Amino acid sequence: MEDTESKNNKYIIPNLPWKYFDELILKIGNGELSKIENYNVEINFLEAIDFVATGKEEYTASELRFDFTKGFDIGTIEVKKEKITISLTSHGKEYYFQKFIKNNAIEAKRVLCAALKLHPAVILISQILNGSKNITRINIYNLLKHHSFNLDFTKEVELNSFLEILKLGGIVSYNKNTRDVKVLWQQDADSLSAHQFISPDTPFSNIKRLKDIIKSLKGTVYWIDKHFDKKAFDILVDCVDASKISNFIIISGEANKTQSAVNEFLKLKGELHNKGTNIEWKIITDQNILSSFHDRWLCDSKDAWNIPPVNSIFKGQESEMLRTSNKPNINKLLTHAMTIV
């Protein structure tokens, strides 16, 4: 699992008014790609909110070669080169259409608001500071710095532009003169953001976010953690819904398979069975298999989440729960796992 610092550092927090982003979106939408230069910060931010997509495209070019020792051309050769491509995503196209074709500022703002909620920095601000009083610009600045986001500036006052963008999108209210900030957006548990932050300042919310992830899964669900801890049983009894989850399978090593843990698991198994969910705890003893994976996952047939250790979540150690497309090889793990009860 990529460490939080290096992951967040790839997200640039801009020191630019939204009008510069509008200029770039307009140029891309109008097909004026030749006019796009020196927009690295804007492109990074628009990628993070799923307004643009970039890629690489190979092409063949002819190059004239010159023999400097003889002082004349020696002909042309075909060489493969690579260029960066940029295009609007479906969200970016919708914004472009509402803003620059229909001139519908209300709908354009709605699209922007939804897009901003995809940015990890915005998710962090919402999860940590929503409902807090007496928040000012410096608190937002410190939060972003603490979580290693790549600020495109060095002074706290230069956070103004970013906060004005969030204000435009309805994420916060912000008074530039008093520096007061109020976080307006609170995440809906039914539409989980891909980033869920764990913080020592939000001990109850940390547990709730883990429960919300489990509640979002369906069918056969796997919790894979070679150091799985019995503390998680309290989580499962609260949030495993038999109308959604038919089977719940824990796969772990045997380090925490104490008699006390087994006894508590049997109680949990009986209670969930009465509700209509089958739960199993499978143990892997092969050290080669255990050493082949270090991450922890919660996943079903469709979704997968990288999560921290259970103890880290309960202690509120700073970390993240991340939706991921990289699933473990569950069949391989099951082949080497045995059901203990």
Q: How many residues does the chain have?
A: 341
Residue with tokens 């709605």: 110
Residue with tokens 């006894």: 263
The values of phi and psi at residue 185, to 5°, are: -90, 125
Q: Which pLDDT does position 73 carry in this prediction?
A: 58
Q: Which pLDDT does position 192 carry in this prediction?
A: 76
Q: Which pLDDT does position 39 carry in this prediction?
A: 82
The values of phi and psi at residue 184, to 5°, are: -95, -25
Q: Where are the domains of the chain?
A: 4-53+89-183, 195-339
* The two three-digit tokens of residue 310, written as one number: 């259970």
Can you name the CATH fold of 195-339? Answer: Endonuclease; Chain A (3.30.870)
Q: Which pLDDT does position 193 carry in this prediction?
A: 82
Note the pTM of the prediction, 2 decimals: 0.74
The values of phi and psi at residue 88, to 5°, are: -80, 140
Per-residue pLDDT of the chain in tens (341 residues, 90 and over written 9)? 445 555 667 889 999 999 999 999 999 999 988 777 778 889 999 999 999 998 876 766 666 666 556 555 556 666 666 667 899 999 999 999 999 999 999 999 999 999 999 999 999 999 999 989 999 999 999 999 999 999 989 999 999 999 999 999 999 999 999 999 999 998 775 567 888 989 888 899 899 999 999 999 999 999 999 999 999 999 999 999 999 999 999 999 998 899 999 999 999 999 999 999 999 999 999 988 888 888 899 999 999 999 999 889 999 898 899 999 888 899 999 999 998 86
